[in-house]
Structure 1
Amino acid sequence: MALSVSTVLFFILSCGLWVAEARLYTSVLTVPNGPRWGRWGPAHFCSKGHAVGFQIKLEPFVMEFDTTSMNAIALLCDDGETVTSTIGPWGYWLRAMYCYRGKLDSFALIVHEATEVDYTATEGIVFHCSDSDELTSTGSERGRLGPMSNQCAEGYICGIQTRVQSPQYIKEDTALNDVKMFCCD
């Protein structure tokens, strides 16, 4: 079977784009309090450099409705690139937050414990910066701050992977449930 030049070129470019997304990392940071609903999305990395800030996508809490709180986290890389993993469908992006002079090196999740009243799962996130700044972005006061992840042993945070629950329609929606951060030299 003979392949056309355009088909071969398409396969070469597709493979090149896939490899461009991959990046060697030195460690994976996790926290124990991330809920377990949803599926893990793909990991995405800063092409070069590291994360110096972040932004969250949030659906605000409204008592009468099924709200989801955090729907996504975007890492803001020092080369101006923005990287995300899976993004939930609800809410809007809040203002970006940046380390003063450092880079992101650990994180903690703010999680709303399961209750009979609108369960939102992940409510917010706290990042620690290498310059000792701490950045917090949250959707409400309903969540509880969990333990901080380990700090990157080598380098700084350079990638993200999120666990997001797809819309449940007649069941309880939660959107973003858990996060893994990747460290690179």
Structure 2
Amino acid sequence: MFLPLLFLFLTPVSLSIPPAPPLVIITVPNGATRGCWGNMELCPPGYVAKGFSLKKQLQQMNGDDSAVNGLRLFCRPRNENTPQTSITSSEGPFGISTIPIFCSDGHLVSFSMKVQSLAIASSDHTAVNNFKFRCSNNLQLEGDGLLWGSYGAWSASCPLGICGLQLRVEENQFGADDTALNNARFQCCVN
């Protein structure tokens, strides 16, 4: 009588835990290299990025320009427009936020950056000057950035949308050449 129960307790039990889906990070090749990466910040579970705004320094005329200093993603539930929350990573100290722009239907899936190359001969580099995002309905959104630099290639597309961002920002140079936002990468949603 005790032998069958003992056998039951000694038999290995296979708990089938599905593996976590792989994290997919999308990037573009034209990002600049000054500064440090901030933390990867994520939309809340069940939310997806549906819009964005820039933090930009207006053109300084005779002063040092830093152009885009930060980027904010606006996250909403996948099939709803409210409630809303926003996320950002590290950001530079200069500038003001632009008015957020949103996908009219759907969510952000890929991006392109307008970057002034640090290799050009200049005493006033700006690095990132603007962003474009593609929505899941193929609509393209362009930020209210600045004029320097050129757009590079589009990133790969996130099938379920963008759910996180990480920014590379140069700290305040206190009178030397400030570039502020240098690069960005985004995490794809896994569900």
TM-score tier (shorter): 0.7 to 0.9
Aligned to 1:101: 105
Q: Deviations over 1:51-73 (max 9, x none)?
A: 00001100012220001110110
Which is richer in helix? 1
1:40 aligns with 2:44: no
Which residues in structure 2 correspond to 1:23-172 (within 5 Å)?
Answer: 26-48=23-45, 49-79=47-77, 80-114=84-118, 115-152=121-158, 154-172=159-177
* Distance in 2 of aligned mates of 1:88 and 1:145: 21
Contact 1:25 1:182 survives alignment (8 Å): no
What value does the CA root-mean-square deviation take over the aligned residues? 1.6
Q: Deviations over 1:97-117 (max 9, x none)?
A: 100101000001000123315
Q: Deviations over 1:62-105 (max 9, x none)?
A: 22000111011001001401000002110000010100101000
Larger radius of gyration: 2
Q: Secondary structure at the match of 1:50?
A: strand
* Distance in 2 of aligned mates of 1:61 and 1:111: 15
* Distance in 2 of aligned mates of 1:133 and 1:162: 24
The size of the alignment, in residue pairs, is 162
Contact 1:61 1:139 survives alignment (8 Å): no
* Distance in 2 of aligned mates of 1:182 and 1:33: 18
What residue ranges of structure 2 are gaps of 5+ in the alignment?
1-20, 78-83
Taking structure 2 as the reference length, the TM-score comes to: 0.81
Taking structure 1 as the reference length, the TM-score comes to: 0.83
Amino acid at match of 1:119: H
Contact 1:123 1:138 survives alignment (8 Å): no
